[in-house]
Each structure stands twice: as structure tokens, then as C-alpha cells.
Amino acid sequence: MNKRFIWSLISLVLIACIVLTACSSKPATTTGDKKYLTINHEQVSTWVRNFNPFSATPLGPTNTAIYEPMMIYNKATGELVPWLATEFGWNTENTVLTFKIRPNVKWSDGEAFTAKDVLYTFNLLKTNDTLVGTATSVLREYIDSMSAPDDATVVFNFKSVYTPALYDIANQPIVPEHIWKDIADPLTYTNDNPVATGPFTQVTKFESQIYILEKNPYYWQEGKPAFDGLRYPAFADNDAANLAMANGEIDWAGNFVPDVEKTYVSKDPANFHYYYVGGDLVSLTINTAIKPFDNAEVRKAVSMGINRDMIVQTAMYNYIAPSDATGLSDSYATWKDPAAVAAGTWTKYDVAKANEILDAQGLTKGADGIRLDQDGKPMHYTLIIPAGWTDWISAAQIISENMKDLGIAIEVQTPEESTWTDTVTKGQFEWIIGYHAGGPSPYNFYRDVMSQLTSVPVGQNANWNWGRFVSPEADALMDEFSKISDPAKQKEIMNQVEMLFVDLAPVIPLFPGPDWDEYNTTHFDGFPSKENPYAAGAPYPFSPYNTTLIVLTTITPK
């Protein structure tokens, strides 16, 4: 055997090894002696550095790992969990709300955290109504004054009784006064290197395709977090993310996974798991400023033309059932009024009836079969879904096909998620599929979709009520609800709110969106599960109730 042949053989073996290694390699959860939890919670082609908690489009961990609230509403347990505050209390008239601030907490730069930082955060929100926050509408409508009489106390004085404010105020992420007081424009500031109280605050790597957050050196929970950092690779769509999950490259995800048992769990049953708990409404939201959709009968006709059974079978793999006309998921079973459910016939698929209603509204079909609006213009609209959200895109395509039977032309567009979010929160859309607020009662959902409290002018960022629909009657009922604490009376009022929603159809319910949650126990333990449902498991970036913080401070490395 000559030397040339031997070296050729060696070269081939080396090349084969390199190729096999490249093909089989996975992003390491361990780098050097550091252990990182790899998370996927949203699909984007490239990361844009923005850790501003008051922005409509911050990066996911901004309010789930970096900044923290005073308390966290844990919908899995129904409890309000003390966090930066240790307790709260109302006065006997429910007009003064007081929080006691946790002692010995530091910001990630070593400065002391006090009640003055909390007061500063809420004053900043109150004086800048363009900023996004869970407490923005409450501050504008109900708070008369705020104070921090000492470093451990924050007091909110109300103009009138509004008990649901507790959750909006308690869950608001808090920022440090000594940093933000010098920021000229708190809305556009990208906050590249945040100073916060959360478990992961140090941006040690940031590239367009991946970034890493490492532990807060001054985190207040002793011994936590139990691992070194969080790793966020970018995936352009669900398909790419799900492939990475099936390859064991992701530790924790909040993805829609088609046939999850077959495509994910079966790849490694010992380590690949999922935990889906009840979510809140996913709807078709139509801009009601666009005629003829300012007419509830037209919206109901559109709803009757949607084949929800096909959507949940095809787009959602039968993980959930279609929504009824109250818009409430099974999470609110004790609140649902059977009379309202029965009255909501407009969520039943009935193309003939839908066309009959549209005909009666004077929306006649043109020669091409497309209906004409009241001004004689073709009823052609754009339905936007974030790129990569394959389940919603599939649902949108079904809706588009369904609308052909009604003489309405729908073009589905899929902009980048950040563009979609900016367009939606500013109310500058025609049709969207969107998600909605949840909470300890249906109050938050109905306030989201038909209250002046959550409506802001088009062009300003709205935390909720993207459709800008307002019902004075709904506001009156919800105001009454917010002033009492008797469960029986609250249920009676909420029944009226449900019936009003059924009558007005401010948004068109499609299905309750599960809190998607997949986790890999190869390298980490302690995720919420069916056996240990201590929190909602989904690592969602924009939930108003940040249970992700609970999970991140519970997970442990193997």
C-alpha cells in the first residue's frame, strides 16, 4: 500500500468525521464550565436588541427574566405570589392600596432597590401615556395619587373603588429610578444593557441569530437561579424551531407542535415532554372603524361563515374545541352563563344564513362575486399573521377560503412578528388573528375587548383592545363589578356582560389558545408538569402575568 493511498484514506476518514460531527452537533447547553438553558418562545429570522420594558416590541426575556413585578398572578394556582413586594392590603373602603416592599433587594449594578423605584415606575407610566404597561389604564382612570412614605412602603390612593386594579398594579415590571431618570425618551430607548432585579440580567452575547443572558450577580433569592444563563437562538418559523426541538437542541419552548406525541415526545420519551394548560381566547379581530364592520350584524355574519371545526381539526390538531360566542375558555367554566352561550348562535357554521344577513345589510355582490360595501367598493381586506406562526397561518388560510363563500376577498399576509406587533398595537390593521388577556375572572378579557379603559387612539400603542371597540354599557357594568366583592353579585353582573358581548360581537371568537409548553429534561429538571402543576409552563414573552419568573427560579440543572 503506497503512502499516497494511505494519506488519501486518512483524508477521507477525517472529512467523514468532520461532516458527521457537523451534521450531528447540537448547540451545547454547557459552554466551558457554564450551563445555559436554551429557550424558544417566539419565531423571528433575526434578533433586534431591545430590552425596554415599556416598548410594544421588547425581546421576550425583558419582562420574563430581566425585570420583575411586585407580585405575580399564578393562574395555575389562582394565587397572587409575593415577589418584589411581600404583602398588600386595602383600607376598609377599598380606596387605598398599600404594598410592603421586600428588604435587601439590589439592582444588578449593586444599587439598593427601594419603594422609591416602584413609585418612580408608576409615575413614569402615568405621565407618559404612550408607554406600554399592565397598569397604564388604571393609572390614567383611577389613581388619584401615589406615595412612598418610606423605603419599604408604596401607597396608591384611588379616585373611586376599583378592586381589579390590584392585579394590574401588582404585575407591573419595575425599573430603577437612578437609570431611567436620565433617559430622554423612555419609549424609543432600546436599553441594550439593562439594569434590573431579575434572575438573568447580564447580556454577555448578542448576535442576530443568538443571544445569551447570564445571572444577575446581586439576585435577591439566595442560591437562585440554579444555573448560569439563558440562551436564545433565532428560528424563522415553527417548522425550524420544532425540528431543533426534535433534535434535542432546545430545553424549553412555547411552540405549536403538530401531532406532538408523534413528532416530539416519541423521539425521546424519557426526556421530551409537554404540558398544555387552558389558555385564553384567540379571535378574529376586525377593525370596527372600517365600514361595514362597524355593524355588529355584519361581524356576526362573518363569524357564521367561519368553519371552526375545520380550523381546530386542521390548524390546531384537535388540541382544543372551538369557542362559543361568550369568548370564554373552560378556565372560566364557573363564570359561564348558559343563557349567553345559547344566545350566541353566530358562532355556528351556517353559510346560507351568513349570506342572508349580508344581503339584508345591502352588501350586494358584484359581477365577479365579490360583495360591495356601502360606498360601492369591493370588500377586499388583508388578514395579517406573524411570519412563522404556522398554526395561525393555517387558520387564516381557512378563514380566507371560507370568506369566498360569503363574497368577501381576504388576502393573508405574514409580516415579521415585530412588524405585526407594531401594526396591531397601533390599531393600523384591517383583519387580524390575535390573542387576549386573561386573569382571575372574565373581567380582564371583557375589559380587553370592549372597554374605554383599554382603548387608546389609533397610532398609539395599546397593551390590549387592539380593535379599539368601546361599549359604554359594558363599561358601566364592569365599573359596577369592580366596586363589589360579593361573589354572587359579581356573577350576576358578569352574566350581563357576557350577554352584552354576545349581542355586540366586538371580536369573533375562534378557539381558546393553549399555553403551549414543551420541555426537555436531558439537562434540566423542575419544569411544571401534569404531576407538578405549580405554574403555567409556557415561556411566553408578553403575558401580563409573569409566571415564567417562577419557573426560571425553580428549574435546576442535572
> What is the C-alpha to C-alpha distance for residues 468 and 426, in angstroms, rounded to an integer?
10
Single out the residue in 180, 214, 245 at which a domain terminates. 180
Report, as an integer, the average pLDDT of 472-499: 92
Q: What is the structure's pLDDT at 16?
A: 39
- For residues 484-495, give the mean pLDDT: 90
Residue 304 lies in a domain: yes
Q: How far apart are CA 445 and CA 456, in angstroms?
A: 17
Is residue 286, in this structure, part of any structural domain at all? Answer: yes
φ, ψ for residue 201, nearest 5 deg: -130, -15
Handedness of CA 9, 15, 16, 18 (dihedral sign): positive
Asked if residue 476 is part of any domain, the answer here is yes
Element (H, E) at 89: strand 85-90
How far apart (Å, rounded) are the C-alpha atoms in residues 105 and 108?
A: 10
Q: Is the pLDDT of residue 133 over 50?
A: yes
CB-facing half-sphere around the CA of 558: CA atoms within 13 A: 10
pLDDT at 260 over 60: yes
- Whether residue 37 contacts residue 555, with contact meaning beta carbons closer than 8 Å, is answered with yes
> Do residues 308 and 444 share a domain?
yes
What is the reported pLDDT for 8?
Answer: 42
Please name the residue ranges forming H helices in 148-195.
165-170, 177-180
The string of pLDDT tens digits covering residues 304-319 is 999 999 999 999 888 8
Tell me what pLDDT residue 3 has: 39
CATH assignment at residue 460 = 3.10.105.10
The rounded distance, in Å, linking the Cα atoms of 69 and 340 is 36
Count CA atoms within 13 Å of residue 532 on its CB side: 8
The answer to whether residue 16 sits within a structural domain is no
Question: Which residue range(s) make up the domain with 346?
Answer: 281-512
- pLDDT band for position 60 (cuts 50, 70, 90): very high
* Cell digits of residue 86: 411581600
Q: How many domains does the chain have?
A: 3
14, pLDDT greater than 70: no
Residue 448 lies in a domain: yes
The answer on pLDDT for 4 being more than 70 is no
Quick: pLDDT tens for 394-426: 999 999 999 999 999 999 999 998 899 999 999
Q: Are residues 329 and 441 in the same domain?
A: yes
Q: Per-residue pLDDT for 438 more than 90?
A: no
**pLDDT band with cut points at 50, 70 and 90 for residue 15:** very low
Please tell me the predicted confidence (pLDDT) of residue 271: 97
pLDDT band at 335 (very low <50, low <70, confident <90, very high): very high
Query: Has residue 31 got a pLDDT over 80?
Result: no
Q: For position 444, what pLDDT does the model report?
A: 86
Q: Which residues of 9-31 are buried (b: 16+ CB within 10 A; e: fewer)?
A: eeeeeeeeeeeeeeeeeeeebee
Q: Are the C-beta atoms of 327 and 335 separated by less than 8 Å? A: no
pTM of the model: 0.77
Arithmetic mean of pLDDT, 449-471: 86
- The pLDDT value recorded for residue 18 is 35
- Mean of per-residue pLDDT scores for the chain: 90
Residue-level pLDDT at 543: 62
